[in-house]
Amino acid sequence: MTRSESLRLLHVVSLSLLVTTGLLAVGCDSGGSNGGGGNLSGAVTATVDGGEAAGALAVNFTYTTGDGACSEVAFTEDFDVPGDREFDPEVISVRCDADANEWDEVEVTFNPNDSAGGLTLTLTSGGGEIASASSPTDNGNLVATAGSVNDGS
């Protein structure tokens, strides 16, 4: 192997490693938009604790389809804290062109009836925690989001 061939091979390998590292850093690997975490699919359990409160709990599943992102508001219901609720995307009527369990992003919002401090909203799926929120938004809601919508990477 000549010196120029060795340098060319070194450049190709270096460029390949650089591109692969860049794609992994932005979450575009062979596992899809979720980075292959393995627990961002199926049912999601929302737990709110840290005090007592009443309010409404809502979940929104977002799917990436051939036509772009498609969202489904799966559930909105009254909710008492402390407590937990499992949201199963298979029981909703998914209008998106996607498998209900293969969501890319889930967002759960707890909207307390009255101002309630010290609460934590935790999301679990596939046996592990996927997101949590303990700081209320400007309007007093707790919002936890897991995953991300595939931008075509």
- Is the pLDDT at 93 greater than 70, yes or no? no
Residue with the bigger pLDDT between 67 and 83: it is: 83
Q: Residue 142: which of 42, 77, 56, 43 has the closest Cα?
A: 56
Sorted by where each begins, the domain ranges of the chain are 1-30, 44-147
The structure tokens 């979720």 sit at 34
Q: What is the pLDDT of residues 34-74, one digit of tens each?
A: 333 345 678 899 999 998 889 999 888 888 877 778 877 76
At 143 the pLDDT is 95
Structure confidence at residue 123 (pLDDT) = 95
Distance (Å, whole) CA 145 – CA 131: 6
Exposure string of 10-46, with b = 16+ CB inside 10 Å and e = fewer, is: eeeeeeeeeeeeeeeeebbeeebbbbebeebbeebbb
